[in-house]
Chains A and B, each alone.
Chain A
Amino acid sequence: MQHGQYKEEMTGTLNLARRSRPWEQAIQAFLFFCAAVSILTTLGIVITLGTESWTFFNHVSPLEFFFTFEWQPTIEQFGIWPLFTATFMTSLAAMVIALPLGLGVAIYLSEYAPNAVRETLKPVLEVLAGIPTVVYGYFALTVVTPFLRNVFGQDRVDVYNTLSAGLVMGILILPLVSSMCEDALSSVPNSLREAAYAMGATKLELSLNIMVPSAFSGIAAAFILGLSRAVGETMIVALAAGAGPNLTLNPFKAAETMTGHIVRISGGDIGYDTIDYQSLFAIALVLFFVTLGLNVLSRRIIRKYGEVYE
């Protein structure tokens, strides 16, 4: 009897892993729920943007939305191009600043800078990246715009203009681009660097002819991710780029971007179930797919280049 009991306990011990533990299972279920919240968020975004856009596109044909050139909700003109060109102009200006400067900073930090300098400069860049975007908007409006107006002439440059917003956005994105470029540069194997020096290359030749081409895909990924940030950036353009859709490619003129339009209209008193309200969701849907596409592209490039050196 005693012997049997002991044996039973033994087998019980052996089967420990199969004992059901409701508490452990409950915790695991809760943890899974936490992870699933992210899926629910995505679903929520797609469903809310989708349904409102659906009702919008029942009123306004997608053809009109994508292929006409006037955005005036008051007279039911919904052609997204004026908002699109403004987004394009600000993003272009931002990338013209952020890519060369970001790459320059990355090359300096990874190839030239002594350790002590790097240790002091990296926090500076992090602080620059951590400043709220509304502060950058203030900066654009009170410093950069007056500066541009003094340089290029008061009558040529509007009080609100896409150039000012774009330039400041470039400063905002610079830390992102530089840190991604630096990662890309530092993941180039040391053997390449040593080989270049052994062939008698100077530091500059190493940087420009060996490091940058080798890290090119990483730099491209940084550029695309930066572009995605620029397209989705809101507060700088809401404050400095202008309030009113305007189909123009002149960087000195005021023009409202997609994000700027959403913020301005939703910040006012807007009734639910109006066409204005639904049009915002249609814009947001376009914005969502553009940024998602850029992000996916950026990550795909990174994954590909990761394979090259492994």
Chain B
Amino acid sequence: MKTDFQTSPAPAFRLDLAGRYRKGTLWSTVFLAITLLSVFFLATLIWTIVNDSFGYVILVNETDPASLARDGKALEALDAAGLTAVLEENLPGRRLRSLSNEKPLAERSRDDLYSVVMDEVVNPEVKAAFDLSESVLAKETILQTLEEDYPEGDLIFRAWLNRGFLGAAQSSVAIAAGVRGAILGTLMTILVTIVIAFPIGIGAAIFLEEYAVDNRLNRFIRINIYNLAGVPSIIYGMLGLALFVRLAEPFTSGTLFGAVADPTTANGRTVLSAGLTLALLILPVIIINAQEALRAVPGMLRQSSLAVGATKWQTVWHHVLPASFDRILTGTVLAISRAIGETAPLVVVGASTFLSQDPTSVFSKFTTLPIQIYQWTARPQEEFRRIAAAAILVLLILMLSLNAIAIVLRNRIRTKKRLSR
């Protein structure tokens, strides 16, 4: 028995160093490759969006702008009267009347008339849109397509993300569409969200960290907040739809305050409802982050404040909050950038599918950037994919600048804290 054990060592004790090291090197390469793969994903994602936002397009005009020149002036140089004349000559009476019904031609500005002429008379149509890599690498093929299929078309290099795109309102034509309304909608919605969620979130965190005794109710509140943080965002959309859009309709539509010109068409699908829904959505995240920030404040600070006779609230307001504010701010900004990118709950709450007017108050109907991206991406035409990509760029830049502002603010607060010490 004893000899048996000595002559046949268990396979687990086999040394085979070279083989084990080889296996080790192999797997460390695998782990590295996996990690680099995630970097690759991010790079591909960003490249795709940039690639799709720029490139050649083939445009075919219904009417050649050169043929619309009047009195020796090119179309672009015409004044309001000239443009009105162009419209009256080229459009059927029925279309003219419906345009006048929207707003009489005589009252329209020169730029407005020009865009009407471009949309209605010149009516450029995107026949083909190429991405950036195609435009750079395969220009010959593009030129060939142009000659063979669209001899009357123009080939122009278009940055889909341009100033016109940022400034233009929504349109059913991709080349004329813009994100002005969506940007305004996003900003207004987020403003409502911040105004509601920031104070309540920090208040809740202060209560849980500084005031709450360890009893069953407070333990339940804590667990509940963690559970809420894991609820899918679309459920919040359902809550917003039932609670803010339907139940609180007089309040969220503004009819309660008489803030709406025409109460018969007003409904609860407004900026206010959207903002409130997003506020509920990011509250748990804000609370959890703020709790962590408050927990990081040393207890000494509280004790010394209480020891010189400050009340609890004075301690919190004058010492604990200032000491943790940079962290609270960072956490809040993270939560807000999440809210900016949220789409699903707002679709459920009822973002408008087509919005020709900019939102003017919290009682306006709304659309936001992510929703615009969703709607454009869902359309099959190539050119809508292009403006979706451009809108994604706008969204990412917006989120990035928000984060940058937060970092600057945080550093400024930190320096101040250090100086006062």
List chain A positions with a Cβ less than 8 A from chain B.
21, 23-24, 27-28, 30-39, 41-42, 44-45, 48-49, 52, 100-101, 104-105, 107-109, 112-113, 121, 124-125, 127-128, 130-139, 141-143, 171, 174-175, 178, 202-205, 208, 225, 228, 231-235, 238-239, 259, 262-263, 266-267, 272, 280-281, 284, 287-288, 291-292, 295-296, 299
Contact = CB atoms under 8 A, between A and B. Distances in A.
Contacts of B218: 35
Nearest to B340: A132
Contacts of A143: 44, 48
The 10 closest A-B pairs by CB, nearest first: A232-B232, A132-B341, A34-B203, A104-B34, A234-B344, A31-B207, A108-B31, A48-B242, A295-B230, A204-B24
Contact of A263 (B202, B208, B348, B370): B348
A141 to B, nearest CB: 6
B347 A131 contact: no
A41 B283 contact: yes
Contact of B373 (A138, A262, A287, A296): A138
Contact of A101 (B37, B227, B234): B37
Contacts of B283: 37-38, 41
A34 B200 contact: yes
The B interface, classified by DSSP as helix, strand, loop or mixed, is: helix
Nearest to B371: A134
Among B20, B52, B207, B243: residue with most chain A CB under 10 A: B207
The A interface, classified by DSSP as helix, strand, loop or mixed, is: helix
A220 to B, nearest CB: 16
Given A132-B342, A142-B385, A262-B234, A38 B377 contact: no
A225 B38 CA distance: 20
Contact of A30 (B20, B203, B238, B353): B203
B104 to A, nearest CB: 32
A36 B370 CA distance: 31
Contact of B343 (A31, A171, A174, A235): A235
A104 B31 contact: yes
Contacts, number: 242
Interface string B24-38: 100110111011011
A38 B283 CA distance: 8
A235 B395 CA distance: 16
A287 B49 CA distance: 32
B206 interface: yes
A42 B230 CA distance: 12
Nearest to A28: B211
Interface residues on B, range: 35 or more
Nearest to A172: B41
A235 B341 CA distance: 11
B306 to A, nearest CB: 11
B230 A31 contact: no
A160 to B, nearest CB: 10
Contact of B28 (A24, A121, A203, A239): A203
Contacts of B385: 138, 142
Contact of A31 (B48, B203, B374): B203
A135 B224 CA distance: 30
B396 interface: yes
Among A21, A171, A231, A267: residue with most chain B CB under 10 A: A267
Contact of B347 (A34, A36, A142, A263): A263
B74 interface: no
Interface in B200-220: 200-204, 206-208, 211-212, 218, 220
Nearest to B345: A234
B41 A128 contact: yes
Among B35, B41, B395: residue with most chain A CB under 10 A: B35
18 contacts: A34-B199, A35-B212, A38-B221, A38-B284, A107-B31, A108-B31, A108-B34, A130-B341, A132-B395, A133-B341, A134-B377, A141-B377, A204-B28, A205-B20, A228-B230, A232-B231, A259-B344, A292-B231
A49 B221 CA distance: 21
B378 interface: yes
Contact of B39 (A124, A130, A134): A124
Contacts of B236: 45
A41 B239 contact: yes
Interface of B: 20-21, 23-24, 27-28, 30-32, 34-35, 37-39, 41-42, 44-45, 48-49, 52, 199-204, 206-208, 211-212, 218, 220-221, 224-228, 230-239, 241-243, 246, 280, 283-284, 287, 311-313, 334, 337-338, 340-344, 347-348, 350, 353, 370, 373-374, 377-378, 385, 388-389, 392, 395-396, 399
Contact of A104 (B35, B337, B344, B374): B35
Contact of A231 (B32, B232, B347): B232
B35 A109 contact: yes
Contacts of B312: 24, 28
Contacts of A44: 239, 243
B228 A42 contact: yes
B312 to A, nearest CB: 6
B231 A24 contact: no
A89 B227 CA distance: 25
B374 A35 contact: no
A105 B30 CA distance: 10
B232 A35 contact: no
B267 to A, nearest CB: 11
A262 B348 contact: yes
Contacts of A288: 231-232, 235
A39 B219 CA distance: 12
B224 A233 contact: no
A137 B35 contact: no
Given A135-B395, A281-B238, A292 B227 contact: yes
Contacts of B344: 133, 234-235, 238, 259, 263
A101 B348 contact: no
Contacts of B232: 231-234, 259, 287-288, 291
Given A124-B39, A137-B377, A262 B238 contact: yes
B87 to A, nearest CB: 34
A38 B311 CA distance: 27
B242 A52 contact: yes
Given A130-B338, A203-B28, A239-B377, 12 more contacts: A24-B312, A28-B313, A31-B211, A34-B199, A34-B206, A34-B207, A37-B204, A101-B37, A101-B38, A108-B28, A133-B341, A134-B374
B204 A34 contact: yes
B235 A31 contact: no
Nearest to A265: B348
